[in-house]
Chain A
Amino acid sequence: MRSIAAIERRIEEIQAKPTANAAGELVGLGEEVLEHWICARGETPTHAKKEGFRLLALHRQGAKGDPSFNACRETCRELIYHYNLVTLEPAHSDSVKRIQLAALVAKHLVLFVGGKMEVAGLGEFCCAAKPVRKNEAVAS
């Protein structure tokens, strides 16, 4: 499994030079990000599919018991939506733009999950500054 930073770098490469066949790779990168989250919770990432996509099944697994993870539910769905747009109409004049948008969506997923992993388990609904305050308290 690539590191979160390596996934982010690869997405940025696709964003800079979008090619019509990158849609599948972006969905795969999204899956890798969610695998990180699930493994960090001590679970084994599912290989099941939801609505035909593993990404959505992984999101569901990642959100189980952690409703705040639903904050990236629509991001996952947008990634699939753009994948569908590109693969169903590969010759469309907007294909490159669609890949670019898909890359930005995938990047948001990486940033959100990466950020959440830093503060995992703290905060009730949304992210919180709690871990930082705790560290400060320990340091002082």
Chain B
Amino acid sequence: MVDVTERAKQLREVAYYPGCALEGSGNGYDVSTRAIAHELGLKLRDVKDWNCCGAMEVKNIDPKIQTYLSSRVLSQAVNKTHNNVVMAPCNGCYHNLKKAEYDLAYDENSREVVEMLSTKAGHQTYEAGQAETIHALDWIKETIGVDGLRGLTKGKLAGLRIANYYGCMYVRPRHIFPEKDKGPGSESTSKPHFMDDLLAAAGGVNVEFPLKTACCGGAHTLSDSDMSTKLVLNILQAAEASGAEVIATECPTCHSGLEMHQIRAEKRFGKKTNVRILYFTQLLGLALGISPRKLGIHTNISHSLDFIREKGLT
């Protein structure tokens, strides 16, 4: 049994794997994650010379290559960054590192492929169990905790009605997340609540949102844009019907999909929605008194600055 305090101490300094999306379209997520880490006294050590996790593109062509690519990230964290806890805020990266961990633990063929490619590439082969991958939600929840955040934020988000949108890759498939569904205190794969818990601690009012893990159509966005727009529009409308003013996100693909298709839904289908879209790290940053600029809110596609001012969050 791990002592909770020891665990919190261990996670105060983690290997940080931003992944490709956070260097591009999801830059606001990266900036706000680093800003709150600084504010909370948590240390992020970037994984040295990291590479793509394999995302969806590689996985659909050759899943073993995806396993290898993710295993190299984990190898770099353990052997070059010297930290065996990898924090990945992107749902796609988080999912893929978890999947690689699972494959390497249970699939002999995956181990052989990873061994062969690692040797060829000239780096140490990652072996299952050498590192632990966590999400940004786990990281905040386990280091600062709900009570800690409540004390630090002093209800700054009071009255802000939030729909927490987790997307699909944070919880699926269940078997690659053995630490979830372990009863009180653990995350749930059917009704995730870590983001709800953190934002409620900052004073936010979480609305009952029925599509919190529904598909955003991210993978369809280029092959069938109308389908993605319809799925996103439905999520936005459901959030508004639930009474939300803001959708909190924790995945750069979902986030940019929601933002882009919110605009496209109006242009293509004449359906306008007004719900705002912000990363949960941006909302927590505002609650901690960090300026919107330092949280990269101005880099989001959708415009939220007036709304933030109106709500007295600056």
Contact = CB atoms under 8 A, between A and B. Distances in A.
Interface stretch (A37-45, A53-61, A72-80): A72-80
A128 interface: yes
A126 B211 CA distance: 17
Given A104-B238, A118-B224, A78 B219 contact: no
B234 to A, nearest CB: 5
Contacts of A71: 168, 172, 215
Chain B interface residue bracket vs A: 20 to 34
A130 interface: yes
A104 B63 CA distance: 34
Given A71-B215, A105-B210, A105-B211, A129 B234 contact: no
A128 B234 contact: no
A112 B287 CA distance: 35
Contacts of A97: 241
Given A97-B241, A100-B241, A70 B172 contact: yes
Interface string B130-149: 00000000000000000000
Chain A interface residue bracket vs B: 35 or more
Interface of chain A: mostly helix, strand, loop or mixed = helix
B214 A125 contact: no
B234 A107 contact: yes
B224 A115 contact: yes
B205 interface: no
Contact of A104 (B59, B168, B210, B227): B210
A2 to B, nearest CB: 18
A123 interface: yes
A3 B191 CA distance: 31
B222 interface: yes
Contact of B219 (A101, A118, A123): A123
Contacts of B214: 72, 74-75, 108, 112
B238 A74 contact: no
Contact of B60 (A70, A100, A124): A124
A36 to B, nearest CB: 16
Nearest to B227: A115
